[in-house]
Structure 1
Amino acid sequence: MKQFPKAGWFWYLCALYIFEMAWAEKFKLNKQLIKSVLEAGFNTPKEIQLKTLNRIIGGQDVVAIGAEGCGKTTVLVLATLNRFKHSADGVPKALILAPDQEKVFELLAQFDRLNRNKTIRLVSLHPGQTTEQNMDDLAEGADIVVATPDRARAIYLKLGLNLNKVDFFAVDDAQLIVKKGLQLPVVELANSIGRAQRLIFTEVMHARLEKMIAPFMLQPATIEVEEMPDEQLPVHPQMLYHVPNFGTKLNLLNLFLHDEELITKTVVFTNTRLTAETVYKSLSNKLRKAVVMINPLSFEYNKVNNIEEFKIDGSLRVLIVANESGAESDVTGIPFIIHLDLPAEKEIYIQHIENHNIDADDETLALTFATDLELDQVRRIEQATGQKMQRAELPEDLVIEKDRKQKEEEKEQAKAKKHIKPDPNQYVPGEAFHEKKPENSKTYNYSSGTKAKMNMKKKHG
């Protein structure tokens, strides 16, 4: 009996050595960090760590894309701590931005978990503190600053945050930063930093995020991991329509539902009753009494008390349900389930699309409309179900609505043109004037060699 603990301890040391070698052989991490990683329970590196950590340690700019829980934050913390070989000097060398106070705290907790170099001083900047407190903390010395973009920018403009020696700039959960509309302070802070390594960690990549990072990320290595769980939930077939905005969502919904032969009995889910009423008004112009709601805000709309009432009424084609209404959502037997909005809690979505009778011939199809800002929710749903939604092409006859900002800019430009008074001294061409054709207009000064090539094309083209 006395020999068992010794044998157990021996095998534990052997396993610890194997795990240590798994990290030491793959990454150029200092020994303190490798010990911290093993003590934290990270026995083997994850895919995102295998694909990104050595690139980051080597000084490369990286955009890392992966689902929630894939290990992105651990990569960021390890890469940051590995830059501090010896004692720190109290001047910010690393600036890490996170979308909100909660995410800042999560990063700080992971730093505390993995950091053995107690000379490193971390300072956090977030709305839970006063700006005076933030500036006092920075004045005492900071090596790593973890902050929300708006608070970091505010302190920087007050000359409280010194960016002169920052050589490591990272943005964590970048998709949430875009969702919160914090792109401008991120870009301003990035551009205020001189030569530095720049990292982006995000769950998804889309046009708005690409636009945010374009001014300060030059030819980064983009690495995406697609880790899906082995277990799959039984769900109805899903199709994803990626659209630019809510207006286009409405146009797509109308396009589908006005085809009575293609789309039959349908339940449309929105997040709020206000949105549900907007959808109702959009559809009722043509569908009339065939569209109904559950618990509408106004008594003037057609309504049913529950989904069962909708199912048995053959005159009804479309039911609009707001997730906030608290109505039960048993959509079993409904041919089409459309999510115009994605609920904040993925469990609500999964409840709607779960297939409770997998042995039956499944004729239910789940359609999801998502903008750039909802793609991270799509990814979390896919991780939870173990299945990717099938990406669908948008119909050719779909009207793509312009964004509100674009519409406002065009209105302002139109107003400005109206208020411009013609210059009486400016020459205005008369009726005999003919504009040159585009191919004849001279907009460039071509070299003699280029002109020769152009003439050869005209002669022999």
Structure 2
Amino acid sequence: MAKPFEEFKLNRQILNAIADAGFTEATPIQEKAIGPVLSGQDLFGIAETGTGKTAAFVLPILMQLKYAQGNNPRALILSPTRELAMQIAEQVKLFSTYTDLRSLVIFGGLGPKTQKEQISKGIDILIATPGRFLDLYLTGDINTQSIKFLVLDEADKMMDMGFIGSIHRVLEIVPRKRQNLLFSATMGALVQKIAGDFLKNPVVIETSEQATPAANVTQTLYYVPNFKTKLNLLQHLLKDDEAFSRLIIFCKTKNVADNIFNFMQRKYGAKNVRVIHANKGQNTRINSINSFKEGNVRVLVATDVASRGIDVSDVSHVINFDVPIIIEDYVHRIGRTGRAFAKGDAITFANEAEKYYIRKIEKLIRQFIPVAEIPEGVFMEETAYEERQQIAKEVDLQKRKDDPDFQGAFHEKKNAATIEKREREKAKAKAGKEIRSFKKGKRFDKKK
């Protein structure tokens, strides 16, 4: 049975904020983490996305900071993406409503002037992306001497994005005497390395098997031959307005995201679709996410830059238009639906080259993704020459990765042709030898 928040050692201000937010019972990660964090222990939390882990570290930190004090930050929360940083900042503000604690979120993509001014007014909790934090530290705008809490959220994504060097630099400039909290959905080699450098005798908590998608998310896989047929299938599925009420479509590249966005705009109108990726300005991205959260937009098209920064409780579907190459991102993408124990659906489209990553994803999540037949009403387009070549090239690269001796489809065909030619020549030579032998035998008979 879930533990009510009233049973934790939290003050009345925080409990009132929790009640106002509509929460009464702790999720498993919250139940396991809040106690150790309140007691001052380092913690390594492994939890799937959408399980409430932000509150698992925010609530006990707020409890220990209690009230505003001094000008320098006392808690530093590092996040891999701007979107996730903003999401954490929202939770901090939500749960600190009845306290005078001051929080600020900083990230790149915006000019630093306003952020510097806000820091100079005094803050207790700083939420930041590693790059912007180090930039403002190096310009002397952030004083780290008072930091008592250091949190690394989504550590696996930080490692994927190449932040390991930045994290080590941060560890060099914060006080040694501090409490460290690290959260990750998956446990790769780099996450284990940073955990070893970062944590001191941590309490390790795991609320589910590593890289296991939420049980309340229904997964479906369609094998689709090409881009145009993927668009046709997408259009067919979206005919069900009631079921597909609010969805996120994930793509591998900015170019594909823009193409889908333009297609969706033509079909469903500009007001119903937004797109976010690294080339979009920060204000545009914030406005798009807010419109999606408020229910003004039905479809959000995104690259993986946003897969961990969208916290919307009623996303009906996630559609993986492309299969992610970083296979751990599959778990984070589909975790955008089925949040807070609600039901959700995750649908993946895979072409011939993407089957390779599907097999790896299934191995990672230790389960098979059910395959569905493409509905009869979907028109199957012929694969264009360029796309066919690209898919063949990718399949060759995958085979080379798994087998260094593999020389490619062209070489396979060439080798097969060579072998066939040699066999023909051997057969021809053998036949010639038999004919000569036969003729020689005939001559011998005549002499007799």
- What one-letter code is carried by the residue in structure 2 that aligns with 1:177? M
Q: Distance in 1 between matches of 2:193 and 2:98?
A: 37
The 1:213–1:154 alpha-carbon spacing in structure 2 relative to 1, beyond 3 Å, is farther
Contact 1:91–1:165 (CA under 8 A) maintained in structure 2:
yes
Contact 2:33–2:57 (CA under 8 A) maintained in structure 1:
no
Q: Distance in 2 between matches of 1:79 and 1:207?
A: 29
How do residues 427-442 of structure 1 correspond to structure 2 at under 5 angstroms?
A: none
- What one-letter code is carried by the residue in structure 1 that aligns with 2:159? V
Contact 2:67–2:99 (CA under 8 A) maintained in structure 1:
no
Matched, 1:348 2:299: no
Q: Distance in 2 between matches of 1:369 and 1:100?
A: 17
Q: Distance in 2 between matches of 1:155 and 1:164?
A: 15
Matched, 1:188 2:169: yes
1:200 paired residue number: 182
Q: Distance in 2 between matches of 1:115 and 1:294?
A: 47
- What one-letter code is carried by the residue in structure 1 that aligns with 2:197? P
1:78 paired residue number: 59
The DSSP-based 3-state class of the residue aligned with 1:145 is: strand
Q: Distance in 2 between matches of 1:369 and 1:386?
A: 13
Deviation of 1:47 after TM superposition, in Å, equals: 0.6
Q: Distance in 2 between matches of 1:134 and 1:294?
A: 42
Indicate the structure with greater helix content: 2
- What one-letter code is carried by the residue in structure 1 that aligns with 2:335? R
Matched, 1:160 2:131: no
The 1:22–1:181 alpha-carbon spacing in structure 2 relative to 1, beyond 3 Å, is same
The 1:369–1:161 alpha-carbon spacing in structure 2 relative to 1, beyond 3 Å, is closer
How do residues 303-342 of structure 1 correspond to structure 2 at under 5 angstroms?
A: 324=256
The DSSP-based 3-state class of the residue aligned with 2:65 is: coil
The 1:219–1:370 alpha-carbon spacing in structure 2 relative to 1, beyond 3 Å, is farther
Q: Distance in 2 between matches of 1:177 and 1:106?
A: 16
Deviation of 1:114 after TM superposition, in Å, equals: 1.1
Matched, 1:217 2:199: yes
Matched, 1:138 2:119: yes
Q: Distance in 2 between matches of 1:170 and 1:213?
A: 12
1:89 paired residue number: 70
The 1:399–1:29 alpha-carbon spacing in structure 2 relative to 1, beyond 3 Å, is farther
1:374 paired residue number: 329
- What one-letter code is carried by the residue in structure 2 that aligns with 1:57? L
Q: Deviations over 1:271-308 (max 9, x none)?
A: xxxxxxxxxxxxxxxxxxxxxx777xxxxxxxxxx99x
Q: Greater CA deviation, 172-181 or 103-112?
A: 172-181
Q: Deviations over 1:386-437 (max 9, x none)?
A: 99945579x9x94489xxxxxxxxxxxxxxxxxxxxxxxxxxxxxxxxxxxx
Contact 1:206–1:372 (CA under 8 A) maintained in structure 2:
no
The 1:374–1:90 alpha-carbon spacing in structure 2 relative to 1, beyond 3 Å, is same
Deviation of 1:163 after TM superposition, in Å, equals: 0.8
Contact 1:66–1:225 (CA under 8 A) maintained in structure 2:
yes
What do you get for the CA RMSD once the two structures are aligned? 4.3
Contact 1:67–1:379 (CA under 8 A) maintained in structure 2:
no
Q: Distance in 1 between matches of 2:404 and 2:337?
A: 26
The 1:229–1:386 alpha-carbon spacing in structure 2 relative to 1, beyond 3 Å, is farther
Contact 1:88–1:143 (CA under 8 A) maintained in structure 2:
yes
2:36 paired residue number: 55
Deviation of 1:127 after TM superposition, in Å, equals: 1.7
Deviation of 1:126 after TM superposition, in Å, equals: 1.5
- What one-letter code is carried by the residue in structure 1 that aligns with 2:201? Q
Contact 1:94–1:166 (CA under 8 A) maintained in structure 2:
yes
The 1:129–1:173 alpha-carbon spacing in structure 2 relative to 1, beyond 3 Å, is same
1:24 paired residue number: 6
Q: Deviations over 1:8-64 (max 9, x none)?
A: xxxxxxxxxxx9x92232x21112111111111111111110111101111111121
- What one-letter code is carried by the residue in structure 1 that aligns with 2:124? D
Deviation of 1:173 after TM superposition, in Å, equals: 2.4
Contact 1:187–1:213 (CA under 8 A) maintained in structure 2:
no
Paired positions, count:
278
1:106 paired residue number: 87
Q: Distance in 2 between matches of 1:372 and 1:199?
A: 25
1:331 paired residue number: none
The DSSP-based 3-state class of the residue aligned with 1:348 is: strand
Contact 2:149–2:178 (CA under 8 A) maintained in structure 1:
yes
Q: Distance in 2 between matches of 1:119 and 1:166?
A: 18
Deviation of 1:381 after TM superposition, in Å, equals: 9.0
Deviation of 1:234 after TM superposition, in Å, equals: 7.0
Q: Distance in 2 between matches of 1:209 and 1:59?
A: 22
Structure 1 regions of 5+ residues with no counterpart?
Answer: 1-18, 239-266, 270-292, 296-305, 308-321, 328-342, 353-367, 402-461
The DSSP-based 3-state class of the residue aligned with 2:126 is: strand
Deviation of 1:210 after TM superposition, in Å, equals: 2.4
Q: Distance in 2 between matches of 1:143 and 1:232?
A: 37
Q: Distance in 1 between matches of 2:151 and 2:41?
A: 12
Deviation of 1:180 after TM superposition, in Å, equals: 2.6
1:41 paired residue number: 22
The DSSP-based 3-state class of the residue aligned with 1:146 is: strand
Q: Distance in 2 between matches of 1:223 and 1:389?
A: 24
- What one-letter code is carried by the residue in structure 2 that aligns with 1:197? Q
The 1:139–1:188 alpha-carbon spacing in structure 2 relative to 1, beyond 3 Å, is same
2:105 paired residue number: 124
1:6 paired residue number: none
Contact 2:48–2:214 (CA under 8 A) maintained in structure 1:
no
Contact 1:90–1:121 (CA under 8 A) maintained in structure 2:
no
Q: Distance in 2 between matches of 1:230 and 1:197?
A: 32
Q: Distance in 2 between matches of 1:142 and 1:151?
A: 16
Contact 2:73–2:126 (CA under 8 A) maintained in structure 1:
yes
What percentage of aligned pairs have identical amino acids? 22
- What one-letter code is carried by the residue in structure 2 that aligns with 1:348? I
